[in-house]
Chains A and B, each alone.
Chain A
Amino acid sequence: MAESTGGVLLLAAVEYSRGSRPEVSRCTTTARGLILIMMGMTIIDIPTTPPGRFAHQRPAARLEDAFKIYGEGDSAVRALDNVSVEFTTGAFTAIMGPSGSGKSTLMHSAAGLDHLTSGRVFIGDTDLSGLSDRDLTLLRRTKIGFIFQAFNLIPTLTAAENIELPLALGGNRPDPSTFARVVEVLGLSNRLGHRPSELSGGQQQRVAVARALVSEPEIVFADEPTGNLDSRTGAEILSFMQRAVRDVGQTIVMVTHDPTAASYADRVVFVNDGSIVDDMLEPTTDAVYDRMKAFGR
């Protein structure tokens, strides 16, 4: 019931969002509010949770009533405008949207890198809003993995050291079997002693993926992981990420603007003007492409 209601609401919201762009945000919110009141729904129904094979899972991360507002008064920009979303455990979710839509803000907030103006963020059962900088850091170290667009490896460390880094910061070492499996899957076994400067872009990003996966975090956030790669290498990286989700149930949330990249995900959340405007399951490149084209008008 809850899921289907959410779907209906989203559809309604999407219809409004296709109107003239400056009005989108306001219309969407108004429409949702109206419909909610009409149907007597509680606020609990709002989070968009994908139906289907992950329905029974608890979310690995979720945002509730998230607002992120830059500036004040007339010049205020709502990067996140009352967003509530859940990222299901064991799912590969893509976040898409045009430039400036708020998709990166959404991911950064969910990952505890950015603070919300209001609303709450959970990683697992942990409410991030009450955490100190230190606790947030420790949470990122143990429960979150990151994959960046610009690889962001430490140039002075070897591949193996880069992979172990988040665990090493906590004075730990990775589980040897996990380390071996991740390295094996990513084809890095004979590259472990190399420094980033001795690796190709694709290899560097594979090291970054390994670094994110090896601590078996609750959730991995990837920010345009294929943005700096050619399409073939990018496809390789996406396949690895997909395999991590399928084989060991890793949760991954990826921000991208590339429909092909998004098609590797189980679900695509579309963001525009700070709001979630659509939620697509089992996406294909074409479907995503068509949906994205709609933002252009």
Chain B
Amino acid sequence: MTAATNPTGARTGSSKVSGMTAVTLKGLWANKSRFGLSSLAVIISVAFLTAMLILTTALAGTTTDDLAVANAGVDVVVLGEELGLGEGPPGAEAAVRSMVDVSTIDALLAVDGVDAAVGIRTTTAQLLGVDGAPVVTGSRTSLGETWIDNETLATFDLVAGTAPVDGIVVDRSLADEAGLVVGDTVQVLTPIGTEIVSVDGIATFGEADSAPDTATILFADGNDLLGTGGFERVVVDTDLDPTALQGAAGNGEVQSGTTYVTDQQSVIEARTSFQTIFFLAFALIALIAGTTIIYNTFVIAVAQRTRELALLRSIGASKAQVLKAVMGEAAVVGVVASVVGAVVGIGSAYGLVALFEALGLSILAGSLSVTVDSLVIGAGVGLVVTLVSAFVPARKAANTPPIAALREAAVDPSGVSLTRNSVAGLLLVGGSGLALFGSIDGTWETAVGGVLAAFIGVVVGGPMIAGWVSRGAGAPLALLGGAVGRLASTNAARNPRRSASTALALTLGVALIAFFTVVASSLSGTVAADTDAALSADQVVSPFAALGGPDDVTYLPPSVADGIELGDGVEAVVPLASTNVFVDGSMALAAGADVRQLDQVYDLAVVAGSLAEVSDASIAVQAGVVDGVVVGDEVTLVFPQAGQTSVRVAAIFETNLPGQVPAQYLFDDAALAVLAPDAGDAVVFVSTDGSDAAQSALAASVEATGGAIVQTADEYIESLGSSVDAFLNFVYALLGVAVIIAFVGIANTTVMAIGERTKEIGMLRSVGMTAVQVRRMIRNEALLLSLQGSVVGLAIGVGGVYATFSAIGDDQFTLDLPLASLATIGVAAAVSGVAAAAWPAWRASRRAPLEAIAG
């Protein structure tokens, strides 16, 4: 300021620059508290982005090159025919194939030029302690696999011990995580059964400690625990062209080793990139929230300094110089906050991993490594975002006419133009209409488009909505709070545009939180409610739940069901097996149960036919799964092991099968055991007379086998939602960052609004407003801001779920509005504003009235 008013400084080129630089620096220093809070917003969003980048770098850490290295000796791979896509994130579903027939090995070996061919069986497998407690394997899928006893074809290389004989070999990651050394004794569980075995060796996957995303337990060829059916794949050592082996492979698909590796790699890469996008999406949300705050800060800062800027212009500063001065401030804030943010991000990455683990979600198998890239990208994005957000206010500052120096600094009177409101109204009404149409019409693209349009409408029409909120909520506030309430509501309406951009961050956070809450509640609520209504067994035996990642299908050791004896008050024991089937190329679930006993423990609500009719060649189908199906129709299912099977529909049922086995097709257990020999028991329902003797008998028998827990029906129903709840908590944690930023934003706007009105507050104090009333007024103003974020956010979030999921129209998904949770979210969000304003309000109320008037 001083330097710029110096006339010589305005004339000479070099000192002119230093003059404006001085303006920039002094502007920053004079407003350090103002930039403090907005810098905090940048720091938080950059820290979060950096943490996410570090996390995603670690996710991609197991390089897919490992696959190529490990499979280097494999020339040809024979796979079963493709049945359809299995589970996985959208775009990253692995193909599910039928088994390769055992006879293929001999056929291949008979071909001249085939040096070796080894069949590999795979199955889900889990390590348990000898006591039956599970060994957690992080997010990696636990896989049992045949040890390839051929140096050329082997994918795993021993680093300790020997190849498996009667025991197992584990990969080095698993050994490290479970603290296993050669010679230890563990219990291993596959759908076939459990066995206590010794750890014969520890191996690496090529040069890596484990195969990508997999914890592998290797068994000797022919071990019963892997099953006795066909092979998952056959690896061949040969110099022949793959096509030359097609004859020997029968229906199987013959691929070169390179093609096989490439296919595997692309699935893993798709999965990793899905996870990366998932994580970065949350970083983006936080970044958007941070952007609104830095933008807001500069808009307010420029508005408050109109006279100062105009003064600079009137004494000869050019527009470019004013622009540079403001952008210079943004650059300093951006650089400092981004660098601090990136550094804080390193710690945040470790903190997040610890947090996820505390929530029961291990997202990383390996360890984090901080790369320079993550820091540079994180900080760079922070700087760019700060500069971009400051540009519009900076340009406005540059366009300040010199005459403004002479005018009283005016408050933005409306901030809302008719055009803007019309566009917003059009988007809101049009978007909502489109969403409604999509939900009725069943086109989810239309519904999602409508929801997005409505959200943009909220952004554009924010100031208009801010007006509604302050009028709508202001009336009761004035009624309840008298003059103080009235002042608060008119103050909130004073600058609708500012209110709107402050509330936007909270709106975004609340909308997403509400969205996920409704989705999660609908998912777990639907399942739990159905199970609750249908389940009549009083005891349930389940595998240890939520071990490792979401891909893990956990099975009960088959001996569990066999071990429970009737009598002693145990009245019925009904195991429920499950397996994947394919119908027209889409994956579905088939369950197997003793249909004659099932209704003693679970009421399926049969609407047509009879469960008694279900037999070797006939099944029960859930209503609505196959269009227009009636009792007596034939349906065709494809099993990975048994291949295509046509069965008659003997009954149609309505209730969903219990949580872990939401199967659409119900088989008699004996029939399913033939079609899918490795279909393990997912759950065992037990009816007892409720006596202590019955319960202790049950507990003793389950403990004897291990690998399972006994729950009462209520505990079981409660636990059904637990994996959904864990995921929800994970999402809450990620969205929480946006909410914290929104919180900082409200504090920031409050501080700036108070700063603007220092004199006014001093006057109010002099004419009789008590300190308590000042605090209440300021808190109420903040309440109106957060109320806008809360109400609009809830509306968008709930409306969004409603439109999208009605449009998708999944019968398995009944929309459930968790009113209590939504109310809690709404109230918490609204109260957050009051909390954010508490400190600025306290500070303002402490200011002596005289000082405020004079200041």
- Where the two chains meet, the residues of A that have a C-beta atom closer than 8 Å to any C-beta of B are 108, 111, 113-114, 133-134, 137-138, 140-142, 145-146, 148, 150, 152, 154-157, 161, 164-166, 168-171, 197, 211
CB distance from A47 to the nearest CB of B (A): 24
**CB-contact partner of A165 in B413, B483, B772, B849, under 8 A:** B483
Q: Counting chain B CB atoms within 10 Å of each CB, which of A137, A138, A141 scores highest?
A: A137
Evaluate whether A169 and B763 lie within 8 angstroms (CB atoms) in the complex, with A114-B850, A140-B768, A155-B411 already known: no
Interface pair A146/B766, CB less than 8 Å apart? yes
Q: Does B166 contact A (CB under 8 A)?
A: no
**Residues of chain B from 446 to 496 with CB closer than 8 A to chain A in the complex:** 482-484, 486-487, 490-491, 493-494
A-B contact pairs, 13 of them (CB 8 A): A113-B850, A133-B770, A134-B772, A137-B768, A137-B770, A140-B768, A145-B767, A152-B760, A154-B764, A157-B486, A161-B486, A169-B773, A197-B413
Give the CA-CA distance A145 to B766 in the complex, in Å.
9
User: Shortest beta-carbon distance, A42 to chain B, in Å?
Assistant: 33
Please name all residues of chain A whose beta carbon is closer than 8 Å to the beta carbon of B764 when the two chains form the complex.
154, 165, 169
**CB of B853 within 8 Å of the partner chain:** yes
Q: Does B771 contact A (CB under 8 A)?
A: yes
**For the complex, what is the distance from the CA of A152 to the CA of B853, rounded to whole Å?**
9
Q: Are A154 and B766 in contact (CB under 8 A)?
A: no
Nearest-Cβ distance from residue A196 to partner chain B, whole angstroms: 11
Q: B853 contacts A138, CB within 8 Å?
A: no
Are A156 and B494 interface neighbours, CB within 8 A? yes
Least distance between B489 CB and chain A CB atoms (Å): 9
Q: Apart from A141-B769, A154-B764, A168-B482, what are 10 other A-B pairs with CB-CB below 8 Å?
A: A111-B766, A137-B765, A137-B769, A140-B768, A148-B853, A150-B759, A154-B763, A156-B494, A165-B764, A170-B768
* Cα(A157)–Cα(B759), bound, Å: 16
- A residues in contact with B763, CB < 8 Å: 146, 148, 152, 154
Given A113-B850, A114-B850, A152-B853; A166-B760 close (CB under 8 Å): no
Please state if A142 and B768 are interface contacts (CB–CB under 8 Å): yes
| Shortest Cβ-Cβ A-B pairs, 9 listed | A141-B768, A168-B483, A156-B490, A152-B763, A166-B767, A137-B770, A113-B850, A166-B768, A140-B768
Min CB distance, B475 to chain A, in Å? Answer: 14
Residue of B with least CB distance to A153: B763
How long is the Cα–Cα vector from A166 to B764 in the complex, in angstroms?
8
Q: Are B853 and A169 within 8 A (Cβ)? A: no
Shortest distance between the CB of B181 and any CB in chain A (Å): 72
Whole-angstrom distance between the alpha carbons of A164 and B763 in the complex?
14
Q: Which of A111, A142, A169 contacts B483 (CB 8 A)?
A: A169
A-B contact count (CB 8 A): 77
Is there an interface contact between B767 and A140, defined as CB atoms closer than 8 Å? yes
Measured in the bound complex, the distance between the Cα atoms of B769 and A138 in whole Å is 8
Q: Write out the residue numbers on chain B whose beta carbons fall within 8 Å of the beta carbon of A137.
A: 765, 768-771
Residues of B within 8 A of A154 (CB): 487, 490, 760, 763-764
Q: Write out the residue numbers on chain B whose beta carbons fall within 8 Å of the beta carbon of A114.
A: 850
- CB of A143, distance to nearest CB on chain B (Å): 9
Question: Shortest beta-carbon distance, A209 to chain B, in Å?
Answer: 13
How many Å lie between the Cα of A114 and that of B854 in the bound state? 12
User: How many Å lie between the Cα of A259 and that of B490 in the bound state?
Assistant: 40
Q: Looking at the assembled complex, report how far the CB atom of B853 sits from the nearest CB atom of chain A, in whole angstroms.
A: 7
Structural contact, B771 and A134, CB atoms closer than 8 A? yes
Determine whether the beta carbon of A146 is less than 8 Å from that of B486.
no
Q: What residues of A have a CB within 8 angstroms of the CB of B759 in the complex?
A: 150, 152
Do residues B767 and A156 form an inter-chain contact, with CB atoms below 8 A?
Answer: no
Q: Is the CB of B482 within 8 A of A171?
A: yes
CA distance A154 to B769 in the complex (A): 13
* Residues in A neighbouring B768, C-beta threshold 8 A: 137-138, 140-142, 166, 169-170
Contact A169 B760 (CB under 8 A): no
- CB-CB under 8 A from A211, the residues of chain B are 767
Q: Are A157 and B490 touching (Cβ within 8 A)?
A: yes
Interface hub of A141, A156, A157, A197 (most chain B Cβ within 10 A): A156
Among residues of A, the one whose C-beta sits closest to the C-beta of B411 is A155
Do B487 and A146 have beta carbons less than 8 Å apart?
A: no
Contact yes or no, A169 B413, CB < 8 A:
no
Q: Which residues of the other chain, B, contact A113 by a CB distance below 8 angstroms?
A: 766, 848-850
- How many Å lie between the Cα of A165 and that of B768 in the bound state? 9
Shortest distance from the beta carbon of B499 to any chain A beta carbon, whole Å: 13
Q: How far is the CB of B197 from chain A (nearest CB, A)?
A: 78
**Inter-chain contact B772/A157, CB cutoff 8 Å:** no
* Shortest distance between the CB of A210 and any CB in chain B (Å): 12
Measured between beta carbons, the chain A residues less than 8 angstroms from B770 are 133-134, 137-138, 169
Q: A154 CA to B764 CA in the complex, in Å?
A: 9
Check A156–B482 contact: CB distance below 8 A.
no
Complex Cα distance, B805 from A251, in Å, reads 72
A170–B763 Cα distance when bound, in Å, is 16
Chain B: minimal CB distance from A151 (Å): 9
Looking across the interface, which residue of chain B has its beta carbon closest to that of A197? B413
A152-B760, A152-B763 known; A157 vs B411 contact (CB < 8 Å): no
In the complex, chain B residues 759-815 whose Cβ is within 8 Å of any chain A Cβ: 759-760, 763-773
Residues of B within 8 A of A146 (CB): 763, 766-767
Q: How far is the CB of A260 from chain B (nearest CB, A)?
A: 25
Least CB distance from A140 to B in Å reads: 5
Chain B residues whose CB sits within 8 angstroms of the CB of A166 once the complex forms: 767-768
- For B845, the closest partner residue in chain A by CB is A133
Complex CA distance for A140 and B853, rounded to whole angstroms: 15
Determine the distance from Cα of A108 to Cα of B851 in the docked complex, in whole angstroms.
11
Min Cβ gap A213→B in Å is 12
Contact pick for A169, options B484, B771, B849, CB 8 Å: B484
- Which residue among B765, B766, B849 has the maximum number of chain A CB atoms within 10 Å of its CB? B766
A1 CA to B849 CA in the complex, in Å? 40
Q: Is the CB of A157 within 8 A of B767?
A: no
Chain B 831-855, CB within 8 Å of chain A: the 1/0 string?
0000000000000000011100100
A161 cross-chain contacts in B, Cβ below 8 A: 486
A137, closest chain B residue (CB):
B770
Q: Are A165 and B767 in contact (CB under 8 A)?
A: yes
A139 closest partner in B (C-beta) = B768
Q: Are B772 and A141 in contact (CB under 8 A)?
A: no
Residue in contact with B493 in the complex, picked from A140, A152, A156, CB distance below 8 Å: A156
**Residues of B close to A134: CB separation below 8 A:** 770-772
Residues of A within 8 A of B483 (CB): 164-165, 168-169, 171
Q: How far is the CA of A170 from the CA of B493 in the complex (A)?
A: 23
Task: State in angstroms the CA–CA spacing of A170 and B770 once bound together.
Answer: 10
Nearest A-chain residue to B490, judged by Cβ: A156
Contact A169 B769 (CB under 8 A): yes
User: Which of B413, B493, B769 has the most chain A CB within a 10 Å cutoff?
Assistant: B769
Nearest chain A CB to B559's CB is how many angstroms away?
A: 76
Chain B residue numbers with a CB within 8 Å of A157 are: 486-487, 490
A202–B768 CA distance with the chains assembled, in angstroms? 24
Taking a contact as CB atoms under 8 Å apart, the answer to whether B486 and A141 are in contact is no
Q: How far is the CA of A259 from the CA of B462 in the complex (A)?
A: 53
Q: Mark B119-131, 1 if CB is under 8 A from A, else 0.
A: 0000000000000
Expressed in whole angstroms, the minimum distance between the Cβ of B764 and any Cβ of chain A is 7
Which residue of B is nearest A115, CB measured?
Answer: B848
